[in-house]
Structure 1
Amino acid sequence: MGIPDPEPHDHNNLRYITLARVQTDEGVVGWGECISQFPESAVAVKVIIERGYSPFLVGENAVDGERLWHKMLGRVWWYGPQGIVAFAISAVDMALWDLRGKASGLTHLSDFG
């Protein structure tokens, strides 16, 4: 079966994404992303990651993803875990998953058995 000519389906809809980059002290880099939808929410996600999460994630063990996820969730108790905050948590969590996979040399599929 041959592959037909690829055809994009963006329908001229512009979506903003925010990329999260997490780097270990050994230099391993993990990338995560979230669809932040609008320019103002992309800025908000960036601020939450840079000012809210970065300061207290520095020095943590990147392998301990579940604990770090709960730590990020606990940080936002005042303004809630929905919406833009969920975008930020998702981007950082995805970056941590990527980082763990690269550091171990395994795919994410192997994490699930």
Structure 2
Amino acid sequence: MNSASLTLFAAAAGAGQSPPAWAQFIPLVAMAAVFWFLILRPQMRRQKDLQKKVGGIKKGDQVLTGGGFIAKVIKVDDNYADLELGPNVRVKALKSTIADVLPQGGTAPAND
């Protein structure tokens, strides 16, 4: 190739306009928006619902602890809940370790 053709290629390559600098950030903003709406927002909503449920527990409710135990609430304080795991088996648990509040009727067995 000669130098004349190289200068023509260089001129042709430089003739096209590059996009503005802010346009490079559009994909990053789009990924952040998708991350927010598909991951963070639903997780915050679930966490808020759980805090609302745990804040409203009262004597007689059935709860699921973080360790997987299903227990009946005997007494509730600001930070603690006294739970009955079985006959004459009582424990004191932090309210923050309660994973879920079960519905009053309980759940139907799988085979019914």
Check whether TM > 0.5. Answer: no
TM-score relative to the length of structure 1? 0.24
**Higher alpha-carbon Rg:** 2
TM-score relative to the length of structure 2? 0.24
Which structure shows the bigger proportion of residues in strand conformation? 2
